[in-house]
Every structure is written in structure tokens, then in C-alpha cells.
Structure 1
């Protein structure tokens, strides 16, 4: 089959690789019909994520048609269309039983390697390094899905791929980010970033009762989407001082809830530190940037909450812990507990008419993926979200 493979920093290629096979009775094989390129895929593309190996198949936002089933799978049949969550979860361990699916104790075969870095291992993830399982990803023609009796959800007839493919990651991720804020009716929610996860965090903040949503970015197309589709007030961080503007907009109190939907590769206007980090990266020494998170902490009102769905791949210098403690802030984060959110959010799509496809700007063949990674990373051609159609 054809699959998009990582070969190093800024080097992804469509290779011919072996077809996946059933390896466990709880596996299924899915023929991929749609697969998104995620913002966190850019961390791989830009060389941020350790324990990647040349030839790794990447991608973690897939859906498609089941073409083969392990003999323990009874909830699906061949031909069923399913969305596959990016987290791999057993469904029965201590954490899965508490709906903390992204913390599964059983799904990462390289748990010891992850524990050396993190203290304990989270769940295995599709297409996202060997530390997190070394599982082949979904930017491919076919995908093996372990624990398929727990992970994928069936897509009802009459719903096209574009409406549901983001249940694989970014819609639940944005929703959990907003839920982690503990939004109370009428709260002001500020969202750093207007990329795909941020757009769903904005939508979800309204669903959870926000009274006001403010979005921060510097990419005109993303700001416009947050304004037009997300009904958010917007701040262009290269044209306005974010802290001063937010204080002005909130009568000096600050936003009640703040969401860092950027993560490791955030930017800061006129920052000397960013210039230093850019020089490091020019020498292929990637540095996780604390700019968005630090600014969210500074801007958040006393006693407020900072939610962090943005992916970080290493330690952070410049984390303002003094502000966290002295302002009595709560910080909540985590990979998304996908299986807890997929069915309820599918219900919102079916019953409430919410259409996540508004985010898509580019649809393409798998063969076009290497060029679209370049486009997406450079924020060119109005690129906000790419969906590949293998």
C-alpha cells in the first residue's frame, strides 16, 4: 500500500509499504477514506518529537471502511464506516474504567521508554513516535486498529466523511479543552491560537455557556474564521499588545478562562527570546516555546483556569510558576480522552446540526501530502485544515 512516511526534519514521503495485517483478535483493518493533517503532525515534521524513526507512517485523524476483522470483534462487520480515535485504549484498565482513556495502562508496548521521560506512560497513539507505541498512522491507504472493540465508532448512513472525520481528534480535543476550563455561564474565555483545535475550542466554549470568546492569533485567515464562524472577538498579536488589550476588554480583571491551543511552536511579537529560539532551530535544535502559555497565565484573572490542549514535546523554560501560585490559578491539560467524547459529539452533529467541515480549506490525494505539509507549515494559500483522501 501507499503511506506517508517520516524520514527526518521537513522530509515526509509517500512510500510503498507492506499492508497491515490482523495481529490480535481485537484488531480490525480499515481502508482509509479520509485522514486529516493535524497541527501536532507539524511537531513531527519540524523535528520536535523524539523517538521518531525513518520510515514511520504518520497521521492520527483517520476514518474509513472496515475490510477485515479479528475474531473477537462482534460490534462491527465488514463494510461498516468508522471514525478511529487517535488514542489507543484497552477499555478495562484502572484509567479506562474512569473514562481517562488517553492514560490507558495497557496500550503502549513501549511504556517503559515513556516512563523514563514522563514518570508513567500514557496510552499508545497512532503515528506519533516510538515512545508512544510506534504504531503505524492513518495517512495511508490502510490502517490496523488495535482494541477496535473500544476505539472506533460507527458512522450512520447519510453522513459524509467531512462531517465526522474530525471526531478522530480535533473536535473532541477542542471540546475537552473548553470543558477543562470549568466554564460557568457568562464567562469570558480567551483562546490563544486560531488553528483547527482552537476553532473547535471556540465553538465548544459557546456550547458550554461562555458569555464571550476572544481569540488571539496573527494569521489573517484564521482570525477571520474565528470571527465569522466562531463569533469570537479577535486580537492580532502583532498589531496589539495582548495583555493590555485583554485588560481593556475585561475592565482590568482578565479573562475568566484561558486556553493555550498552540503548544510547542508558539510565536511572540518582537520577542528577543523568540529570535534566540529561531537561531537554535536554524541549527536544527528545536526549542519548545512558552510564549502562549506564559501569556495566558499572565492574562488570566485571579482564581481562573488555564486549559492546555496544545502539545508540548519537551521541558519548558520561562514557565511563570510564581504567577500560577500567587494568582491561585488552576491548570488542566492532557491528551484527549477520546472514547468519552466521540459518541456525544456525534450526537451534536446528527441532532443539533453542527457541521465541523467548516474548518476544511484543502482536500487532496495522499500523493499530494508532502507538498501540503509544506503549505500547512508555512501558513500559505489560506491553509487551515487539510483532509487527505487516500
Structure 2
């Protein structure tokens, strides 16, 4: 187990943050050198162990409950420094406890086994300074931006390493490389959100039109598909949404748009893909992704979720209180529609 973990995930050892990879049984599959330094638990002692035995705080059923949607539906999880500051207890040189923010991303192992990639970020300097600057709103906003900036940079590092791993797999295991490319696109959607939070005014909401526009255009220009024969059409209303709901919506958009790029136009056919965002009523928002491609498979079942992508979309839609459905004649053209309540 030790050698397999090291070889399979050794690229993650280059990250400057604490990294561990967990399977559905809470068995540790990877434990990087930063995690060794922080916890004083060696990689040899960690690999193959049940995380709940190694760190008893994970026996709390809330963690299994929060991670289950990630393993089942690929839904990322964030354990904030405000409510989960010491998931991986470690002390600084001065003896004080390190304050952490933990981001958990879906990862595919061998044979597409669902895994959880934990990125543990030390935010101690920022949280300590925030306490000292309790009376200065402007200073707090700068520090919040810095936290967003750091999270964004670390997501970019994870994305880059996954990209390198995908390039290596294209030479040896071509079937796995596209899976990593799609995972990278999902992580990039989170990184873009944190970029918006870092550069914009500190607020709990985000400009959905601007976010989706940049997200879709980035995907369209990415290496996920040859888009030279495809025309992109965007019609996005100027709407805002809470940041936590924007994460789910961005992941839905990534899943739908990448599926359209891959499957709607086989053999380099010409066609159109569009994304529409509107507010049909005062308290509702609708997202549509459509194409005029080859249509849905004849065995396609929306509610039963007969593909992993459908399961992910249904899970994320429920997360924001939405209802989703597909429209198409299974011969030419498909439209996905998601209707969800706006922010109260």
C-alpha cells in the first residue's frame, strides 16, 4: 500500500500545503510530506490506516455525512476555518494551534474509484490578524481578499498538477486522461470563483452573469474538445447569487457544457451550443444549456440518473433547492433547464 500510494499520487507531494487522499472507507491512500510535518505522523504510519482511528475527531458522523455527496455525486466540500479550525491538529513553533481551512475535491483513482482529495491550508496568520483588527472593516476586507487569493492559488496548483498527470497518462492510459481533464475543469471553476471574490468588493454574493460568462468562455477555449466547428451563444441576465450557491451552479454549468462539447457533435460536425440565464419571476432563476446536436441517447433517463454526470447534476440541483429537466426529441438537439429560487 505504501509504494502504491507514493507512486500513484507523488505529484501531490510538490504542493506547499498539507495533502491527503481518502477512499470511501476512510482509508488513507496518500499522506504528503507537509502533512507529516504538521501532524508528526509519518507517511508509513498513515497509509492504509482508517482516518477515524488516526484522528478521532472524524468519528463525528457529521464528517461522513458531509463527505458522502462527494463520493456519490462528486460534490466538493469546504470545511471552513470558522467551524472546523483544527481538523488536523498541529502546533506552530510558538506552541499555538494552527488554524486551517480544508477543501475536499473529488478525485478518480484506479478503475475510476471515487476518492477524496483533502487540501489543508494554514490560515493562522490571517485569522489572528482578523481578531486584532476587529474595529477596522477596511483592513478586514483586505485580509479576506488575501484568504481568497491564497485559496485560489492553491486550487491553481492542484489544477496544474492534475494537468501534468493527465498529460503523462495520455501516453500510457488514454482512457483515464479525459477524466482528469474534466476534474481539472471543475477545480478551475472553483478557482475562478475565488478569483472573483479576491478581485471584487468583499461581499457574500457574486455577479452570476460575469462569473458564468468567463467560466463558459474559458471552457470553450480549453483543450476538452475541438471547438473550431462549434458556435457559442451566451444570453445571461445580470443577476447575483450567494457565493455558496454559485459554487454548485458553476459545477452544474461545467458538467453540462463539457458534456455538450464532447457528445453533441461527433466526428467534428458543425453546430451551436448556448447558455441562457434569466429570471422568469421575481423569486426564480433559470439556467438553460442547449445544443442542436445529435440529441439524447434513447435509453437516457433523467430521474433515475443512469450516468455519473446526471447523478452529479441532480445532486447539485437539490443542493440549491432547484428542479431540473431535459428537453429533446432524442434525434436532434437537447436543452437542459434548471429552475431554482433566487436568494431571499
Of structures 1 and 2, the one with the larger relative CO (CA 8 A, separation 6+) is 1
Q: TM-score, normalised by structure 2?
A: 0.31
Larger relative helix fraction: 2
Q: TM-score, normalised by structure 1?
A: 0.28
